[in-house]
Amino acid sequence: MSRCWMTGTSSGIGAALATRLLEQGHQVALGARRAESLSLLLERYPGQALAAIGDVDVPEHVTAIVEQIARTWGALDLVILNAGTCEYLEPGRFDPTLVERVVRTNLFGVSHCLAAALPLLRRGEHPHLVVTGSSVTWLALPRAGAYGASKAALRYLIESLRIDLISEGIDVTLINPGFVDTPLTRRNDFAMPQLWSVERAAEHIIKRLPRRPLEINFPCLFTLVLRLLGALPARWRLALGRRLAPTRQE
């Protein structure tokens, strides 16, 4: 069974996926900002689940977590970088601090984790790096500029890194979810087509991880439609985006 570090396990897909991994017998370092959010899993899987408390936005926290894992297990076989955030830009009120917050977590936070985790993956058995992106990268959507930009940059980073890691025997998988019912998406004020439960999303991922695919995309129909729409000419995509945009309140 693998030694795994997973970020963003306090709720949502991360919590459900971490539970599946523990049920399968893997050792899992549970990443979260608060220890209390992990109490149930830590109690249920003593000696198997490890609390990895810290904020991925803070390099010192990430370094401390990985040092703790190194002392405990010596290496990592599986790393799942799942922590992320989402905020929306409002028309007429562009907020660069919002963009900075989202990019800091979704891109820079992942970068901190990559720098710290790769040395332990290199010591692992059949190492596998998994990163959660987003299906939004295939089609620009209204108000999603900060979130989409952070995930588009993350996709490029991971696809490029995948090339660099081939010679080291580290497999890289990018997960691109559609809408999943999580505490984060429950704040959305718009329709979310083909909304999946976290349990369904976690089961979909856990079944495919052993194959080490380049990507795991779901829901299949939703992500396929986004990819096809994203291939339309730019003016057509602009017209579609205008139709999807909410009516501006004066």
Summarize pLDDT for 87-115 with one digit per residue, the tens: 999 988 999 999 999 999 999 999 999 99
249: in domain: no
Which of 80, 106, 116 shows the shortest CA–CA distance to 6?
80
Q: Which two tokens stand for residue 54?
A: 């810290």
- Calculate the average pLDDT of the chain: 95
* Residue 92 is assigned to a structural domain of this protein: yes
Q: Please tell me the total count of domains within the chain.
A: 1
**Does residue 230 belong to any structural domain of this protein?**
yes
In a domain? residue 220: yes
The answer as to whether 219 is a domain residue is: yes
Global confidence as pTM = 0.95
Is 202's pLDDT higher than 60?
A: yes
State the pLDDT confidence band at 188, using cuts at 50, 70 and 90. Answer: confident
**Tell me, what CATH number does 167's domain have?**
3.40.50.720
Q: What's the CA gap between 119 and 127, in Å, rounded?
A: 11
3-state secondary structure of 212: coil
Which among 117, 133, 139, 123 is positioned nearest to 31, based on CA atoms? Answer: 117
Contacting residues for 96 by C-beta, under 8 A, at least 6 apart = none
Residue 147 lies in a domain: yes
Q: What is the DSSP letter of 107?
A: I
The reply to whether 29 falls in a domain is: yes
Q: Is residue 250 included in any domain, yes or no?
A: no
Task: State the residue range of the domain holding 61.
Answer: 3-244
Dump pLDDT digits (tens) for 127-186.
999 999 999 999 999 999 999 999 999 999 999 999 999 999 999 999 999 999 988 888
